[in-house]
Amino acid sequence: IGADRLANAVAVHASFGAPAIVIDFGTAVTFDVVGLSRRIPDAERGEKTEPPGSYLGGVIAPGLASLTDYLADHTALLPHIDLAEPESAIGKSTTEAMRAGAVIGYRGMIREILAAVTAELGGEPRVVATGGDAELIAAGLPSIREVIPDLTLQGIDLIGRRNL
């Protein structure tokens, strides 16, 4: 697990408790899951219980810019685009069609991953977004309750203070 992902988990747990999911919209989009205490079968020692706020794992998928850059770099006629909210779901130009596919399609991917993770986690986790594309994508996803641009830095600060 990368240090940034652990910092996000520490920050979200300190701010909101558990269960929680951090979605970091960067070069890759990562989901990091902090859970409530739960019993886990252990083949050698029977069952063990994770403490509340344990880092359970996550998901890694391509970032939004990676997807749009791929289209521009690997097709003959599609341009590089600036990411923005599409004017409608039906693009009236190549750029608008690409924006609709990227932004609306990306929200669909995020929604499906969140649904699967939430179902496995049980309960209703607090969902927090951070990273460069967080504002754009979270604007269309009501399940993301908070956008905290500096969440990773908050986590690094907390870890540093706890280890003085």
User: Residue range 136-142: average pLDDT?
Assistant: 96
User: Residue range 66-88: average pLDDT?
Assistant: 94
Is residue 4 part of the annotated active site? The answer reads yes
| pLDDT at residue 164 in the model | 86
For 41, the 3-state DSSP assignment is strand
Tell me how crowded residue 80 is: count the other CB atoms within 10 A of its CB. 12
Token pair 């929604």 in the structure block, residue: 111
Write the Ramachandran bin of 127: left for phi over 0, alpha for psi from -120 to 50, otherwise beta. beta
- Asked whether residue 40 carries a pLDDT value surpassing 90, the answer given is no
- Asked whether residue 122 carries a pLDDT value surpassing 90, the answer given is no
Asked whether the whole model's pTM tops 0.85, one would answer yes
pLDDT band at residue 141 using 50, 70 and 90 as cut-offs = very high
User: For 3-12, 103-112, 115-124, which range has the lowest pLDDT when averaged over its residues?
Assistant: 115-124
Q: Which amino acid is located at 151 in the chain?
A: L
8-state DSSP, 92: S
Q: Which of 4, 24, 32, 133 is catalytic?
A: 4
